[in-house]
């Protein structure tokens, strides 16, 4: 069995966010890049867990990005991936990215494709569904538990107000979130092995970009706290009604 895990780089949550070119481009100066946590902690780790139970499983990684994404993919290999692909393009359109992943997946004839539920920078939650659509494969999103029995997977997923259990025949595309696996840290043996694992750079397939960024905008600065004396209920009600507009 072959599993393809989609991996992307995102800014560390402690990075200072700023924009350039009239707020149309993310300013990456001084930014610390990490593996997108949903890709690393859940999608990748669950794939590695499956491999540890069944030695016939191979885990490949794919990322769409420039050469600056290679340290990220090497870290993912250190966690336990067997080999990786980097599609050599720096395009942020979801359809374009999904098209590149679908091209790699189609060429490799993978049985299972894992993605994180979303990236922590754009929060689009769109790649898994787009990849499944492009490959005409079943798609289950927001997986909190994934079990494999031969060519059939049982997937628990979060829904509004509860959880549902799905059964799907492979090949399939699954997006993963908290609960499907536990976070791991690469050990020294994995880090050393990752240096020699194959990382293939491929040129992008022909695909359209359907969106572009008009502008970025930072959230408004937080207002100061207003303290209301405990015996001044009328003033508290007025503030909640006129300023906070919650009553």
| pLDDT one-digit tens code per residue, 37-69 | 999 999 999 999 999 999 999 999 999 999 999
pLDDT over 80 (residue 227) = yes
| pLDDT one-digit tens code per residue, 93-141 | 999 999 999 999 999 999 999 999 999 988 899 999 999 999 999 999 9
Domain spans in the chain, listed from the N-terminal domain onward: 2-219
Residues 6+ apart with CB under 8 A from 106: 135
The average pLDDT across 212-231 equals 86
pLDDT bracket for residue 166 (50, 70, 90): very high
pLDDT attached to residue 61: 98
pLDDT over 80 (residue 8) = yes
DSSP 40: I
pLDDT over 80 (residue 223) = no
pLDDT over 90 (residue 245) = no
Kind of pairing between the strands at 172-176 and 112-116:
parallel
Which residue, chain included where needed, has tokens 């189609």?
Answer: 106
pLDDT attached to residue 207: 96
pLDDT attached to residue 39: 95
User: pTM of the entire structure?
Assistant: 0.86
pLDDT over 90 (residue 79) = yes
Residues 6+ apart with CB under 8 A from 194: 74, 75, 77, 78, 186
pLDDT attached to residue 219: 83
Rounded to an integer, what distance in angstroms lies between the CA atom of residue 160 and that of residue 208? Answer: 34
Helix (H, G, I), strand (E, B) or coil at 104: helix
CATH code at 2-219: 3.40.50.620
Rounded to an integer, what distance in angstroms lies between the CA atom of residue 47 and that of residue 32? Answer: 26
pLDDT bracket for residue 147 (50, 70, 90): very high
pLDDT over 90 (residue 25) = no
The average pLDDT across 70-81 equals 94
The average pLDDT across 166-185 equals 94
pLDDT bracket for residue 246 (50, 70, 90): confident
């Amino acid at each position: 069995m072959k599993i393809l895990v989609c991996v992307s780089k995102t800014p560390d949550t402690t990075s200072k966010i700023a924009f350039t070119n009239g707020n149309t481009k993310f300013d990456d100066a001084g930014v610390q890049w990490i593996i997108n946590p949903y890709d690393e902690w859940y999608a990748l780790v669950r794939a590695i867990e499956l491999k540890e139970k069944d030695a016939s499983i191979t885990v490949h990684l794919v990322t769409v990005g420039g050469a600056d994404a290679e340290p990220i993919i090497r870290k993912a290999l250190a966690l336990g991936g067997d080999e990786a692909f980097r599609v050599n393009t720096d395009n942020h359109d979801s359809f374009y990215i999904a098209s590149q992943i679908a091209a790699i997946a189609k060429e490799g004839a993978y049985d299972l494709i894992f993605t994180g539920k979303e990236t922590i920078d754009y929060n689009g939650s769109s790649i898994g569904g787009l990849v499944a659509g492009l490959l005409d494969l079943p798609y289950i999103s927001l997986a909190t538990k994934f079990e494999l029995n031969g060519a059939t997977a049982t997937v628990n997923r979060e829904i509004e107000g509860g959880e549902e259990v799905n059964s799907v025949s492979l090949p399939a595309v699954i997006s993963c979130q908290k609960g499907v696996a536990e976070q791991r840290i690469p050990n020294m043996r994995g880090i050393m092995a990752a240096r020699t694992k194959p990382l293939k750079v491929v040129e992008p397939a022909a695909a359209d970009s359907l969106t572009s960024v008009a502008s970025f905008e930072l959230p408004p600065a937080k207002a100061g706290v207003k303290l209301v004396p405990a015996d001044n209920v009328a003033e508290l009600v007025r503030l909640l009604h006129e300023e906070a507009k919650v009553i």
